[in-house]
Amino acid sequence: MRERNPVIDAVRIGSVALVVFVHWFGAYVTWDNGTVRAGIALAGPVVWALTWLFQVMPLVFVAGGYANTAGVDAARARGESFLAKRAMRLVVPALPLVALFTAVSTLGASFGAQPLATVGAQVMKPLWFLAIYLVVVCLAPLMVRMHDRFGPAVPLVLAGGVAVVDGVRFSTVGLVADIGIGGDINFVLVWLTAHQLGIAYARGAFARFTRRELASLIAVAVAVMLVMVFVGPYPPSMIGLPDVPVSNLAPPTLAMLVLAFAQVCALALVAPWAGRKLSGERPRRFIKRANPAVMSVYLWHLPAGAMLLGVALLAPQALLPDLGVSWWLSRPVWLGASAIALLGVLRVVRRAEAALPTVDSRWPLLGLLVTAYGVREATRYGLDLTNADARAAVITMAVGVAVLFVQRSGKRRGAAWDRNAGATGRPSSSPSTVPASNAFA
């Protein structure tokens, strides 16, 4: 077994930890005449600027690109199916969450309990990441092959597609709010390009730059982002805020790609130093313990907060303060209580995940794509089975998961998709060039 890359693992862990912190810290919940409303408390130009520093989802996809490059190489070397191996790692952690909140949302709607009826929609919103990542993983073997044949031309072409979609979205009078299918196209193109930067990083493309060159590229990227916002038509925030309802995240824009490029250059710049700092026994032991729980933490951090919210609703005047000094003073308590709730949830969830079988899926590509579409629809409509759209989303997810659990017959190994997409055109792309690192799961 080849050694993992501790820097990539640390990027994955740190990025998800920052996402969890932002979601917990900025949450603002109100209770008005029996109706619960959840939103983001922070706004204003200072917060807009901070979102460009705290938006780390591009790094998550970069780390995924690195990991999937290693996975494709290893699967090809062993004659195994890359997709079959990844399928269960990505989908299994989400099954207990979907099952639990489908039941909660449906019962809440059936008995007229509005907070319970809508909780499924809230906990599913962050799973936009899982939906698009499942698609990206399906394309990973092909994209590794494309990089090995065409190199940096691949992300440039993808970025060109993003620019075309943005050109349609933006007009001379401002942002077109009704983005339609263009938003779905950019959800794929933007995050696939960030993933492609991770493939390039894994193949050593950024190692060719000197420290001065990397610093210059970062400076150029920052200058481009400033021009895009202050001169061009791009929104000033990297997440949706009360005063920026349309951001560069939903759907992602070319600005997100420029940020992704700056982040991967920064990663290449600090990687040698970070590698030395993470080489000790204590950091490696922490990474080894934390890394397997990353996907579960991402999936369950909002449900844990929702359970805590259920307690707060017993005394909303005291436990859900209005914006102001009381709200700021409540943040440390809210963060600590959310962390305790999440740790308790994870203890139960890990047992549920361990009880689920692991199979060598016979049709991983089909199962992953169907599941991805179901997850995407559930992020839009929730999990309440009394709602027709939500019911269709849950049924689609169930069909996709059922396909994934169809066992491969016999001892036949590998798959035509992996075999063809895994072929390389360069001697430098042998499996030994990339340390093993599993997918974000």
Residue 230's pLDDT band, with cuts at 50, 70 and 90, is: very high
Is the distance from CB of 21 to CB of 336 less than 8 angstroms?
Answer: no
Distance between CA atoms of residues 128 and 139, nearest Å = 17
What pLDDT is attached to residue 323? 77
- Residue-wise pLDDT tens digits, 357-381: 777 788 899 999 999 999 999 999 9
Distance between CA atoms of residues 274 and 256, nearest Å = 25
The residues pairing with 407 across neighbouring beta strands, listed in sequence order, are: 361
What pLDDT is attached to residue 327? 82
What average pLDDT does this structure show over 157-170?
90
In degrees to the nearest 10, what's the CA dihedral of 190, 176, 374, 440?
A: 30
| Least confident among 29-43, 49-63, 217-231 | 29-43
* Percent with pLDDT over 90 in the chain: 46
Q: Which residue has the higher pLDDT, 66 or 428?
A: 66
Is the distance from CB of 225 to CB of 253 less than 8 angstroms?
Answer: no
DSSP string covering 24-53: HHTEEEEEETTEEEEEE---SHHHHHHHHH
Is the distance from CB of 254 to CB of 162 less than 8 angstroms?
Answer: yes
Task: Give rounded-to-5 percent helix, strand, coil for the chain.
Answer: 75, 5, 20
Distance between CA atoms of residues 7 and 5, nearest Å = 6
Distance between CA atoms of residues 68 and 373, nearest Å = 21
| Least confident among 23-37, 86-100, 170-184, 264-278 | 170-184
Residue 407: alpha-carbon gap to chain centroid: 28
What DSSP designation does 8 have?
A: H
Residue 297: phi and psi, rounded to 5, are -60, -45
At residue 122, does pLDDT exceed 70?
Answer: yes
By residue count, the chain amounts to 441
Averaged confidence pLDDT in the chain: 83
At residue 133, does pLDDT exceed 50?
Answer: yes
